Structure 1
């Protein structure tokens, strides 16, 4: 999974998106729905997988937008 998949997760009272391998969040949102929508758009543009985590950190859903390897 070193191809830059996108993760939407909850941390420090905010929903965040981070590209796998990155250190910082790409964006933050107070609303989960906004963060998921932004993460999905990022994953589609990069043609990678979008992982959505619940507030506890468990993977809730996963959708691949690019070629599968």
Structure 2
């Protein structure tokens, strides 16, 4: 799977985390909204934006507790 597809999936998941607020997500990541739109279309984004997207995505997963499947 190409990097653009991975980035696209990450951005679509992060938009759901942020209640579909593209402006808020762009502000939180410090990237232009146009880069998030490019990512959602599967187009290449700058390395800096890709780095910020990947770091935010991984940081969220590293700090969020795993769901308890026993209950």
TM-score by length of 1: 0.31
In terms of fraction of residues, the more strand-rich structure is 1
Higher Cα Rg: structure 1 or 2?
2
In terms of fraction of residues, the more helix-rich structure is 2
Greater RCO (Cα-Cα under 8 Å, separation 6 or more): 2
